[in-house]
Each structure stands twice: as structure tokens, then as C-alpha cells.
Amino acid sequence: MRVRNALRTTAQGFALAFITLTGSITLFVLTVLSIAFIMLGVGLITTPLVLSAVRGFANFRRLKAAEWAGITIPVPYRPFPSDMRTGFTGQVERCTLLLKDPATWRDLLWMFTDMIAGYVTALLSFIFIPYAIYGWVLAAGVWRPIVHNGGNEWYAFIPISSQFTANLAALLGLVFLVVSLYVSPLMLRGHFLLCRSLLAPTPQMALTARVERLTTTRHDAVDNSAAELRRIERDLHDGAQARLVAMGMSLGTIEALIEKDPQQAKKMLSMARANSAEALSELRDLVRGIHPPVLAERGLGDAVRALALRMPMPVETDVDLPGRFEEPVEAAAYFAVSEVLTNAAKHAEAERVWLDVHYAAGMLRIAVTDNGLGGVDTTLGSGLAGIERRLGAFDGLLAVNSPIGGPTMVTLEIPCEPYPARPTMR
């Protein structure tokens, strides 16, 4: 296992050394020249293109850091505004935003460091095994034509002049091979740790990004609250209020007819009773949409179990919660699960769904997996965007993994703290 790991590291180190030397030097020079040409106007066009290539190159290294060394390097780039203009004006705005982003200048510093220290660490993760093989090649007789033709060959600190010294080179090569089993993986990891020190966001950048995210989610929460109030007002106006007004008019007519035409008054009383029942049903549905009674009385665990039972396809639930959570958190989680299950039933053509709800390390984690068609496009539709906005108010996250053909997994995370379950009032 260790030998296989060293061989894999050697191949990865060779690829990194080549990529580092060519990619970092090329992109660093192009970036410096493009920024310098901004004063001539040309750089306004070329700089966004070059910096996009730089970010793609940096993201490629982030990906390899995770795949080859298990090192996660967060992406610190600021998002572009959704209403960015097009044409030359938009190009200038894009260039300005890129140059104002601190991550751009950290990328430039990383490329400069990468072409020197990054290349050295990548080379050291690669060189040991090839150099050990070269020592054995010398001992196999290759030293003779080199020395007999006047060559002055050294292997590390050993001058090669005879078969004896060539055999010493082979022994030293064996040492290099043993060293490679331990040092090469460390050098590769060191290379990506160096990348992380410059490519990861600084604490100040992370704090700024968090403040921006909280500001955005606060605005979204305010907008959602206003939209929800308008929906409730519209539902009341068009539904229960209209029925109650009609019932009041019916009662006035009944009052006038009760002595003149008791039979007709009796029929209208029956209609008024039916209208009152429908108005009551609509009010119950409206209240259930605002805050389901089972959620208020029994908590999130029982509420999602009840929700799963109402789905048209089988839903296997696995709920493990230490107690109740704050009402806004439970409501956000409940309606998010409701939206995801509804999507699975309407669009995924799923035959079965698995719902896992767990709490650990200060995080409420919910995973909804279905065996449907997959291929969910997270850029379309308002359902997932609405869930993301709802969770964003609590600094929560939404992740969707939906390859073509399925399965689809939607993961929700909400940071929160539970409190012990309170006894239910009977």
C-alpha cells in the first residue's frame, strides 16, 4: 500500500511540476501585462479574460488538493451582481469588480510563489523514485561509457569512477527509494498546504463574505415576510372573507323571509351552514399553511413523519433529534422538507424516497434522497431558490446532487441549538 501510494505520488508530483512551471509562469506574466495595459485601454478587454483563466487555474488546483491530498481550499471570490450590464460598459464594470476583489491579488501572489516554492515542493514529491532508479541504472553498467568517454559523473555525493562506486550509487538509490515512501507524500501535501495558505480566504475576507451573505439573507427574509403577509391577506380576502360576507347577506335575507316564507328560509339556512363549514375549512388550511398544528404541538420530528405519510409514494423516515428547536427553525426546516418531497413527487417520478433528519455538532442536517430521474437543474424554478432563501435567514445551506438518471439527494443544513422537549398540553 505504501509503495503504491509513493508511485501514485510520483506521477502526481511530475504532473504538478509541469503544470506549476508552465501554468503559473504563463498566467502570471499575462496577468501583469494585461493589468499594465489597462492604461492603454486594451487591458479593459483582456484583464477579465485573463483573470477568469487565473481563477479557473486556481480552482483546478483546489480540486486536485481535495482529490490528491484531502485538503479543502474554500473559494473566496466575490459573486458578480445579477444585474451587470452588457457591452463595453459591462466589461469595464467586470474588470473593476475583479480588481477590487482581494482574492484577485492573492491569486497573483500565489502564482508568483507557486512558480518557485510550489515548483520545488512538486519536484521533491516526484524526484526520489526516478533518481533511485537512475542509481541502479548506473550500477548496471551505464557508468562505463560515461566515464570512458571522459565524463565526470556524480550520483548525489558519490563520484562514479568504477563498478564499486556505481554499486554504492545503487545502495544510495535504495535509500532514496525508502525515503520516497515517506517523504514524497509529505512533499505533495506540503505543496497543497502552501496553495491553501494563499488561495484560501483570510479571516477578514471570510468575515466580509459572511456579513454580505447575512445582509442578503436579511433582505430576502424581509421580502419573504412581506410576500407571505400579502399571500395571507389575498387568501383571506378571496376565500374566507368572501364566504363570511356572503353568509352575512344570506342571514339578512333569512331574517326577512323567516315569517313570510319559512321553507325558503330553511333552505338558505342550510346554504349558510355549508358556507360557514367551507369558510372554517379554508381558515384551517390557511392556518396550517402558516404554522401546521402538528409542528407546534409535536415538534419537527413528528411533523415530518406526518408529512411523509401524506406523500403519494412511500417515504422511509429516519429521525433522530435530541429535542425541540426554536419555532422559526422548525418552521423553516418543515416547509423546506415539504417543498423537496413535493418536487420529488411531481417532477422526479420517484418510486421511493428516503428522509433522514439528524442533529449533531450544532447542526440540523436533513437529507432527502429519491430514486427518480435525476438531472435537477438548480438554476431553474423558484422552489429550490425559495428553500435557499428560507434557510439563508438562519445561515443555513442547501446542496443538491442530482446526476442524470438519479438518484437525487438534497441536503439541508441549519446551525441551531436544541432545547429539551416540553410536555404537550392535554
- The domain locations on the chain are 2-199, 222-290, 294-415
Under a CB-based contact definition with an 8 Å cutoff, are residues 272 and 251 in contact?
yes
CB atoms within 10 A of CB 46: 17
Average pLDDT over all residues of the chain: 81
Closest listed residue to residue 64, CA positions, set 227, 56, 286, 139: 56
Q: Which residues pair with 319 in a beta bridge?
A: 357
Question: Rounded to whole angstroms, how far apart are CA atoms 349 and 371?
Answer: 8
Q: How many residues does the chain have?
A: 426
| Torsion angle, alpha carbons of 11, 13, 18, 19, to 10 | 110
pLDDT at 421 over 60: no
CATH of domain 294-415: 3.30.565.10
pLDDT band of residue 238 (cuts 50, 70, 90) is low
pLDDT given for residue 191 in this prediction: 94
pLDDT tens per residue across span 189-231 = 999 999 999 998 887 776 776 666 666 666 665 555 556 566 6
- Cα-Cα-Cα-Cα dihedral sign, residues 87, 58, 377, 225: negative
Q: Which of 248-262, 272-286, 297-311 has the lowest mean pLDDT?
A: 272-286
pLDDT given for residue 12 in this prediction: 92
- 3-state helix vs strand vs coil in the chain, percent to 5: 70, 10, 20
pLDDT band of residue 426 (cuts 50, 70, 90) is very low
Question: Rounded to whole angstroms, how far apart are CA atoms 49 and 370?
Answer: 40
Give whole-number Cα distances, 419 to 155, 322, 323, 361, in Å.
68, 8, 6, 14
Average pLDDT over residues 175-182: 89
Amino acid sitting at position 74:
P
pLDDT at 361 over 80: yes
Angle 147-149-155 from CA coordinates, rounded to 5°: 30
